[in-house]
Structure 1
């Protein structure tokens, strides 16, 4: 998902610009979660449920995997709750918000699985240009700390608009409900960058 790459970038920037270390408790929680999620990390900017459908090729398996991810995220949230409140903890918590929305809406979103599976190639490739551009801008952000670097990340809205239009065109207006995930990503991105 988009936020995983952004969170990693921001953590790298914050670690590079300060001499302090990420608290052990936060690292322990993050590492345990990353081990559980090892197969889910991707540089592709796609709606996570679509990525699960593509990986499994099966609606039931994708739904079950999404439920497992929701449980794993809950474990991470509970683990982080036992850590001191730090910027690193807040960044991770903000990064989990899109998945929390997905988990809350999973039964509703599951109704879209048949159309998404049928159109999976188009849904994953129609916004490839915007996805590539966003990935390049995030890479640029990791090595440049200037305000212009931060402005480059604003390309997220172009990717989100393309994706939502694509979902609506191929699977109907109700499929445009994926916008909440992009909206949350966009809002959380700015909250993360303010830290």
Structure 2
């Protein structure tokens, strides 16, 4: 591993250490992480999984993702918004997912808030458009792992705004991770083969 934190794989491509060894994480890094998510259902899924990840490894969440999708109706907000006590107890008994009652209840609450956003007179569009409205003027350009931020003024503002709209489990650090995962900021290390590939940021910012 270089001093920057990048590892050159057997394919000659440079990746951060966390995405280098495990095939599941490597595939996620190469194909999905940091790519733009602009649809409501996709953004709601990412928001939900980031909340479930709190205190756990992302590998754990990725391994359980297929089970999460089955358990939460493919993260269709209208479906999850209608979950009641019976569905919550079903989820608490589902060993395929993370059985944390607070996080499960937060997901239901956030689905209901997502549905309400559609008709919010102060919001143009729905959840995805609302989250993207907090895109910063420029993206970080970290050259080492130590330079990668874990929060930002925009993620704090997004966190505050979502809480005002009735969302929960949306702290500023979790929201920064969401912004990284959905392409709103590009925190791929300069030198990574994925830097600048989202199409969101020009090479001037990479």
Whose helix fraction is larger, Structure 1's or Structure 2's? 1
TM-score range, shorter chain: 0.3 to 0.5
When normalised by structure 1's length, the TM-score is 0.38
